[in-house]
C-alpha cells in the first residue's frame, strides 16, 4: 500500500475528524504523554511572554497539552486539515491560542512567521512528504537557541516494539476505524510508523538538518520503545559544541 500524502492525507483526516478524539481517548496515556512532551521543552514555568508554534495540531490535543503546561504563552496552532481544525476551533480556548490552516512546509505563505521560542510537533513528521523540508521550515521559524520537541511514533529498532505496535493496530485500532469508515487512514498511520525513522535515525536526521542538543527520550507505558519525545534546539552563539 502506498502511503497517503499531501491533499489525499488532508482529505482523509478531514473525514476522520468527527471520530478522531474518541479513538485517541481510548489510547492509555495519550493526553498525559503529550503534556509530558510539552514539559520536556524545558521552558520557563507558565511561559509568560513566549511564542510557541504547535505544528500539526489536529483536533487540538497537542494544543491543549501546551496550554496546560504553558498557560501564559502565545500559541499558534497549525494544521493542513480543515476538518481537524474545525473540530479544534469548536473547543474552548484562551485568547492566547490562534489556529491557522496551512501545510507545515508553507508557514510563511499562510502568514505564520517567527521567531518562535519553541516548536511542538506531535505525530507530524512521519506523515510529511518531505520531513527534511518541514525541519528546515522549523529551523527557520525558531529563534536562536529556540527549542523543538517532536512527539512521534519512532520505533526503537527492536523487533519486540515493532510487534507490539502492529498487534495493537491490527487487533484494536484498525477494526474500530474500519467500522467508522476510516480504515484507509488508519492503515496509513500504522504503516507510516513502520516505514519511518527509528529513534536513532530520527535524531541523526535532526542533527543533519542543523539542530543542536538532540536527544530522544522514551515515554512510559505500552508505548515505551514505540513513541519518543525528541528534543533539540536551534543553535545560537557558542552553541555549536552541543551538536
Helix %, strand %, coil % of the chain (to 5): 50, 20, 30
pLDDT of residue 238: 59
pLDDT at 106 over 90: no
In a domain, 1, yes or no: no
pLDDT at 1 over 70: no
Interval 218-238 mean pLDDT: 93
Interval 42-48 mean pLDDT: 95
Mean pLDDT of the chain: 94
Strand order from edge to edge, sheet including 51-55:
97-101, 74-79, 51-55, 116-122, 142-153, 227-233, 212-218
- The pairing of strands 51-55 and 116-122 is parallel
pTM: 0.94
Q: What is the pLDDT confidence band of residue 239, given thresholds at 50, 70 and 90?
A: very low
Range scoring the smallest mean pLDDT among 22-26, 55-59, 142-146, 148-152: 22-26
In a domain, 171, yes or no: yes
Interval 66-86 mean pLDDT: 97
Distance, CA of 12 to chain centre? 17
How many other CB atoms are there within 10 angstroms of residue 58's CB atom?
25
Q: Is 124 helix (H, G, I), strand (E, B) or coil?
A: coil
The DSSP secondary-structure symbol of 2 reads: P
In a domain, 242, yes or no: no
70 and 43 in contact (C-beta within 8 Å)?
yes
Euclidean distance between CA atoms 235 and 121, whole angstroms = 19
In a domain, 76, yes or no: yes
Interval 214-234 mean pLDDT: 96
Interval 113-142 mean pLDDT: 96
119 and 94 in contact (C-beta within 8 Å)?
no
pLDDT of residue 191: 95
Interval 187-199 mean pLDDT: 96
pLDDT at 240 over 50: no
The domain spanning residue 216 has which CATH number? 3.40.50.150
* Number of compact structural domains in the chain: 1
In a domain, 200, yes or no: yes
In a domain, 241, yes or no: no
pLDDT at 241 over 50: no
Q: Is 121 helix (H, G, I), strand (E, B) or coil?
A: strand
pLDDT at 242 over 70: no
Owning domain of residue 107: 6-235
- 96 grid coordinates: 492566547
How many other CB atoms are there within 10 angstroms of residue 228's CB atom?
25
Half-sphere exposure of 44 (CA within 13 A, CB side): 9
Euclidean distance between CA atoms 75 and 70, whole angstroms = 9
List the beta bridge partners of residue 98: 76
- 217 grid coordinates: 527520550
In a domain, 82, yes or no: yes
How many other CB atoms are there within 10 angstroms of residue 48's CB atom?
12
In a domain, 61, yes or no: yes
pLDDT at 184 over 90: yes
- Which pLDDT tens digit goes with each residue over 2-33? 799 999 999 999 999 999 998 888 888 999 99
Amino acid at each position: 500500500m502506498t502511503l497517503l500524502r499531501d491533499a489525499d492525507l488532508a482529505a482523509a483526516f478531514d473525514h476522520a475528524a468527527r471520530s478522531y478524539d474518541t479513538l485517541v481517548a481510548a489510547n492509555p496515556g495519550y493526553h498525559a504523554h503529550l503534556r509530558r512532551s510539552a514539559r520536556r521543552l524545558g521552558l520557563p514555568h507558565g511561559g509568560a511572554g513566549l511564542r510557541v508554534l504547535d505544528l500539526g495540531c489536529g483536533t487540538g490535543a497537542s494544543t491543549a497539552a501546551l496550554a496546560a503546561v504553558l498557560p501564559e504563552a502565545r500559541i499558534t496552532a497549525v494544521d493542513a486539515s480543515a476538518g481537524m481544525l474545525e473540530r479544534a476551533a469548536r473547543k474552548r480556548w484562551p485568547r492566547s491560542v490562534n489556529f491557522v490552516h496551512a501545510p507545515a512546509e508553507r508557514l510563511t505563505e499562510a502568514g505564520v512567521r517567527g521567531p518562535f521560542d519553541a516548536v511542538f510537533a506531535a505525530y507530524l513528521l512521519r506523515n510529511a512528504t518531505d520531513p527534511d523540508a518541514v525541519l528546515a521550515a522549523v529551523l527557520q521559524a525558531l529563534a536562536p537557541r529556540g527549542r523543538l520537541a517532536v512527539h512521534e511514533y519512532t520505533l526503537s529498532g527492536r523487533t519486540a516494539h515493532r510487534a507490539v505496535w502492529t498487534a495493537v493496530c491490527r487487533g484494536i485500532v484498525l477494526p474500530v476505524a474500519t467500522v467508522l469508515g476510516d480504515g484507509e487512514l488508519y492503515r496509513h498511520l500504522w504503516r507510516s510508523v513502520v516505514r519511518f525513522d527509528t529513534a536513532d535515525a530520527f535524531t541523526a536526521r535532526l542533527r543533519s538538518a542543523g539542530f543542536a542538543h538532540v536527544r530522544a527520550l522514551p515515554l512510559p507505558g505500552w508505548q515505551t520503545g514505540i513513541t519518543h519525545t525528541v528534543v533539540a534546539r536551534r543553535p545560537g552563539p557558542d552553541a555549536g559544541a552541543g551538536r
